[in-house]
Amino acid sequence: MLDPRSSPLFEAWTNPETGLKVWLLSAEPAPLQQSFYFVNDSLSRDGRYLWFYCAYPPSGSGAYGRTLAVVDSDAQTIHRFPDTQFQHASPFVDPDSGEVYWTTGASIWRRGPQPEAEAECVNSLPADVLRNRKVARMATHLSRSADGREFFVDVWLGAELVFGTLPLDGGDFQFWHRFDRHHNHAQFSPVDPDLVLFAEEGHTDLYTGLRFPITNRMWTIRRGETPRPVFGDPTVCSHEWWDPDGVHAWSVWQQKETWRANVQTGEFERIEWPVATCLHAHSSVDGRYLVCDSTERDRFYRGCATSVHFKDLRTGKTLKVIDNPAVEGFTGANYHIDPHPRFCCGDRFVVFTATVRGRVDVAVVRTDDLVAWVEEGSADGGNR
């Protein structure tokens, strides 16, 4: 089990305003190290394996070219795997085996966390779907069906988007839907293997360069059926994720609130944040806590200064976890280094990206420490 307090692979950074300890990965297998995009867990269920993104500026980008590395908390080692070059935020960690899956080209690949493990191809798009076209993206972020049999892919092929599933056993691709404008962020329901949440994205015409804004963001699609919007009226929100109950989905609205909506009825509840601009958020499995990242700037840009916040929904108390300085220039702009905080490992930890050391780091904070701070508000309580 990961315990950054006693691991030589992590060093403590203390928040000067609160005394709260955040743990930063001290080993540096790559010049730039990031947490996963907030939709997917980066830790195995037993807390042994922590996966993260690596980059070597100016190589690659947030769309393609980063690779993966893993912390083995039992062996107290870190291994970087150059064979894991992945697209977008596709990596997915099997919670039981600690294996990682990712997409490259028209295929899904897998490897174990052990240094001697070899990468293997899990499945690929068939030729009759590809039709000699280049895959710009296989999956925004891989999600596995509730029965563990399939991955969902929101494939970007030329001027169209193709939704469907690829079985983990190498079976045939199953077509779900085709779009002529950009839809992405598709995520299998955590409880229903036939239901997917996805997003309408801003669309740039590939021929004219004309930009078409989002008109209705959140959608669901059931296997064998047509897509349907979550809200009855066109609603522009962002950064969706499933609630563990599979009945609700969360999103960020107007960069001020998080919404928890029933995906069938569209009824929702609002949670406000005391921040200027909320970027992403994530909820704990038990539904009591939220984390978010934000910026105090009027204009968001990649690499701008950000903060991470923790909220107890029962009491309404909020704690600022960290202030991240801006990372200007190519590095900040090119690798999607937003903090992307996420509860991991059964809510034991919040994992995110930090820049407090003047570089891009993987950061971990213990949820128990965050809870103690909002309940007791003391250094002794927050670092027991």
Residue 130's pLDDT band, with cuts at 50, 70 and 90, is: very high
Q: Is the pLDDT of residue 377 over 80?
A: no
Q: How many domains does the chain have?
A: 1
Q: How far apart are CA 352 and CA 374, in angstroms?
A: 19
Q: How far apart are CA 267 and CA 231, in angstroms?
A: 8
Task: Please give the pLDDT value at position 276.
Answer: 80
Q: Is the pLDDT of residue 380 over 90?
A: no
Q: How far apart are CA 144 and CA 121, in angstroms?
A: 16
Asked if residue 292 belongs to a domain, the reply is: yes
Residue 320's pLDDT band, with cuts at 50, 70 and 90, is: very high
Q: Is the pLDDT of residue 203 over 90?
A: no
Q: Any bridge partners for residue 299, and if so which?
A: none
Q: Is the pLDDT of residue 128 over 90?
A: yes
Task: Please give the pLDDT value at position 297.
Answer: 66
Task: Please give the pLDDT value at position 206.
Answer: 79
Alpha carbon separation from 205 to 61, 222, 233 (Å, rounded) = 22, 28, 25
Q: Any bridge partners for residue 353, and if so which?
A: 362
Quote the tokens at residue 30.
């790559």
Q: Which among 165, 217, 172, 167 is positioned nearest to 196, based on CA atoms?
A: 165
Q: Which residues contact 208 (CB under 8 A, 6 or more apart)?
A: none
User: Which residue has tokens 């021929």?
Assistant: 207
Alpha carbon separation from 215 to 265, 273, 281, 377 (Å, rounded) = 19, 24, 22, 43
Asked if residue 167 belongs to a domain, the reply is: no
Q: Is the pLDDT of residue 383 over 60?
A: no
Asked if residue 295 belongs to a domain, the reply is: yes
pLDDT in tens, 227-247: 999 999 999 999 999 999 999
Q: Which among 122, 124, 154 is positioned nearest to 140, based on CA atoms?
A: 154
Type and span of the H or E element at 122: strand 120-124
**What one-character-per-residue DSSP string does 264-304 give?**
TT--EEEEE-SSSEEEEEEE-TTSSEEEEEEE-SSS--TT-
Q: Which residues contact 31 (CB under 8 A, 6 or more apart)?
A: 55, 56, 57, 359
Q: Give just the sign of the alpha carbon dihedral 70, 250, 64, 277.
A: negative
Residue 28's pLDDT band, with cuts at 50, 70 and 90, is: confident
* Domain span including residue 303: 1-72+288-384
pLDDT in tens, 267-301: 999 999 988 889 999 999 989 999 999 998 667 88
Asked if residue 368 belongs to a domain, the reply is: yes
Asked if residue 96 belongs to a domain, the reply is: no
282, 267 in Cβ contact below 8 A?
A: no
Q: What is the largest CA-CA distance in the chain?
A: 62
Whole-number mean pLDDT of the chain? 94
User: Which residue has tokens 């919040």?
Assistant: 350
